[in-house]
Amino acid sequence: MLRVLLIFKLSLLLVSCQSLDKNEINFYLEKANSYKAEITRDVWGVPHVFGETDADAAFGLAYAHAEDDFKNIAENMYLYRAQMGLKDGPSGAVQDYLIKVLKIRERIDANYSTDVDEDVRNIIEAYASGINYWMIKNPENDFNHFFPVTEKDIVAGFSIQNLFFSGVVSSIEKLQREADLQEEYTTLYKNEQFVTGSNVLAVNSKKTSDKSTRIIINSHQPLEGPLAWYEAHVRSNEGWNMMGGLFPGSPFIFVGFNENIAWGFTVNKPDLSDSYLLEINPENENQYFLDGEWVDFKKETISLPVKIFGPIKWTVKREAKYSVHGPVLEVAEKNYALKFSGMEDIKQVNQWFAMNKANSLEEWIDAMKMRSIISFNGVFADREDNIFFLHNSSSPLRKEGIDWKNVIDGTRSDLVWNEYVDFEEIPQIRNPSSGWIASTNQDPFKVTDANDNLNPADYSPTLGLQTRMTNRAYRSIELFSQYKKIGEKEFDAIKFDNKYSEQSRSYKYIANLFDREFETKELNYGIDVLKRWNLATDFENTSAALGVCVLSSEWISEQGQRIPQDPEISYRECVNELTETYGNVDPLWADRNFIVRGSKKTAVQGGPDVLRAIYGRNDEEGDLKASGGDGLYIHVSWDKNGTQASKSIHQYGSATQDKNSVHYDDQVSLYVQEQYKPTYFNDSDLVGNISKVYMVP
């Protein structure tokens, strides 16, 4: 016991005495002085960063973002360095294991100078330098143990993103469910549960009443944390001029626009991951059967640092095994090898930068042909009146005639793929005759008018393309179809639509209850409430609280690729919850659904899987607090003469962490009123709307 107490006291002393090394400070200060950036904050606090070179601009972007949200930038380093076990204990170590077994950091160490283009390396290194400079200038930041942040940390973040979107995590969870296991792997990437969708809507002169081209970029993310949107504008004299949304730790705009083009992404779910069942030698557990012979596993020992309590940590050793297919996972005494797209690719940074520098549809498509960003639907619009849909996927070039949806025979090497299908073989639509595109995480063959949609029979079943339809997909098709021509007002109205379609899974799930009789007056009254629902989630709606509560069960199950429970179970639970919280089952939606920022709690319209997407969790009072969905969204247009206009809104404001800043919550009121603010993208607009200008370093 005395030994434990001494270790505990020593650990506390080490933590409290932690500081930046003077030699390191001088080195990184000198490095920072090689860059120069101007940061202009507009009246909403949004940074417009200018640098003579792209690297200068990246340095300034990092510094500005650190000013607003250093906590999330720093905490991402736990994940990027496979140190989640030090943050979250054993559950975090599971994430570290998967990152380490995939050798992400080792691959970056070995290939950084060859796989990452020189101009991209310059940007990433400048971005890391900007973060380090902010840390030096703010030594009491609580995250000095991450100093210095390196360019390889940044690249690791992009490589780890492939784990989110490859489907490998879902594959692991599926194997566990089939084996009736509830292991800690199900805690992988807790924020993934809120990456539930996105919308991008685009129209060109064939559909617009004023011959404009328009796009609304509306990616749905968690409203807080390391995957929440941050708005910025970055510009250099080397041709980089992008404004839009990025995540903490990113030197590039992920969704946004420049003077000539705009694009957004939505999550798609093509089959990019395979699980191979291995046959183990009964006389030697270190061998597996392949092509008629026993083959030795490659084995390594992985070290996983884990927080025990307080500052005390422990390093756990765990064996990792590899087959020719990939890393091996044991599930219920069976051995599976995992393989997924992008598993060995560290070039995502090259592709993101190429997209940021693109100025035409052809240049943007050339960037997408790099295939290092393995998934996402892309929707594009430009000054030239082009609109374009791409069901982007680095789909494996698989052997035909095999059911790739299920576990694959691991004894055959001919089933181990190592190439991707050609870019031209994935679904894409350019300038449909209907003049509109709506991507809402749905079937890629139902993204525009029926006459323009692609034929699924023209695509190989080995691609594993999704066939799901979201409510947002049904509503967007219904809404675009009801207008012969649309203007700016109608386009925004589609984006803010808060209704469910009678064709949707959600409505059909609820409708299953309509013919059922219940044992109490209260339960039968609730059915009447559901029957009279107009399927909207507006402020004055008195059926939305019960309707959304019931359908949420189906939505969550569908997201997890599970069969939903009987709607009667959901219904009874919802009646009890609403009665206990409000005294009735039909409170106003304005009394149920809120966005909360600091002490500000404001009613908001919308709900799960409507175009005005709001995903709520119960707060301490039992109300719904928006946690995901509509965050930053941007409306960009070019009129018939090519003149650009743009407007945007963020769910909170630019000051992510500073509760004392006016920009901590200054956009909330516009957000709930479904209005926008100007972006001030053009210098002529920005010049009269500046709150602060300063140089760094």
pLDDT surpasses 90 at 70: yes
Lowest-confidence region among 15-24, 74-83, 381-390, 565-574: 15-24
In this prediction the pTM is 0.93
Distance CA(206)–CA(321), nearest Å, equals 56
60 three-state secondary structure: helix
- pLDDT score recorded for residue 186: 39
pLDDT surpasses 80 at 681: yes
CB contact burial 125-159 (16+ within 10 A = b; e otherwise): bbbbbbbbbbbbeeeebebbebbbbbbbbbbbbbb
pLDDT surpasses 50 at 185: no
Which strand (E) or helix (H) includes residue 286? strand 284-290
- pLDDT score recorded for residue 19: 60
Q: How many CA atoms lie within 13 A of 122 on its CB side?
A: 11
In this structure, how many other beta carbons lie within 10 angstroms of the beta carbon of residue 362?
Answer: 10
pLDDT surpasses 60 at 14: no
- pLDDT score recorded for residue 165: 76
- Kind of pairing between the strands at 197-203 and 436-439: antiparallel
Strand partners, 551: none
3-state per-residue secondary structure call for 581-610: HHCCCCCCHHHCEEEEECCEEEECCCECCC
Segment 504-531 mean pLDDT: 97
In this structure, how many other beta carbons lie within 10 angstroms of the beta carbon of residue 202?
Answer: 30
DSSP structure class, residue 615:
E
Q: How many CA atoms lie within 13 A of 530 on its CB side?
A: 30
Segment 125-135 mean pLDDT: 98
3-state per-residue secondary structure call for 237-281: CCCCEEEEEECCCCCCCCEEECCCEEEEEECCCCCCEEEEECCEE
Segment 266-289 mean pLDDT: 96
- pLDDT score recorded for residue 196: 62
pLDDT bucket at 181, cuts 50 / 70 / 90: low
CB 199 within 8 A of CB 389: no
Lowest-confidence region among 145-154, 172-181, 403-412, 468-477: 172-181
- pLDDT score recorded for residue 6: 32
Distance CA(232)–CA(327), nearest Å, equals 39
pLDDT bucket at 222, cuts 50 / 70 / 90: very high
- pLDDT score recorded for residue 191: 39
In this structure, how many other beta carbons lie within 10 angstroms of the beta carbon of residue 485?
Answer: 14
- Alpha-carbon distances, residue 390 vs 225, 348, 368, 444 (angstroms): 29, 18, 9, 9
- Alpha-carbon distances, residue 399 vs 168, 262, 403, 461 (angstroms): 20, 37, 10, 10
Domain ranges (residues) in the chain:
505-610
Q: What is the mean pLDDT of the chain?
A: 93
pLDDT surpasses 80 at 132: yes
Amino acid at 548: V
- Alpha-carbon distances, residue 38 vs 56, 61, 373, 400, 696 (angstroms): 9, 10, 31, 55, 6
Tokens 């030090």 -> residue: 86
Tokens 């030699």 -> residue: 23
For 592-617, how does the pLDDT look when each residue is reduced to its tens digit (9 = 90+)?
999 999 999 999 999 999 999 999 99
CB 344 within 8 A of CB 101: no
pLDDT bucket at 206, cuts 50 / 70 / 90: very high
pLDDT surpasses 60 at 195: no
pLDDT surpasses 70 at 295: yes
Distance CA(689)–CA(244), nearest Å, equals 18
Lowest-confidence region among 467-476, 506-515, 554-563, 664-673: 554-563
pLDDT surpasses 70 at 258: yes
Please work out, in degrees rounded to the nearest 5, the angle formed at the alpha carbon of residue 439 by the alpha carbons of 437 and 444.
95
| % pLDDT > 70, the chain | 95
Task: Determine the length of the chain.
Answer: 697
Token pair belonging to 44: 């909403």
User: 313: exposed, middle or buried (C-beta count within 10 Å: 0-12, 13-18, 19+)?
Assistant: middle
Cis check: omega of the bond before 311, within 30 degrees of 0: no
Residues in contact with 283: Cβ distance below 8 Å, sequence separation at least 6, in sequence order: none
Sign of the alpha-carbon torsion through 389, 395, 399, 401: negative
475 three-state secondary structure: helix
pLDDT bucket at 18, cuts 50 / 70 / 90: very low
3-state per-residue secondary structure call for 288-353: EEECCEEEECEEEEEEEEEEEECCEEEEEEEEEEECCCCEEEEECCEEEEEEECCCCCCCHHHHHH
558 three-state secondary structure: helix
Segment 270-276 mean pLDDT: 95
- pLDDT score recorded for residue 311: 76
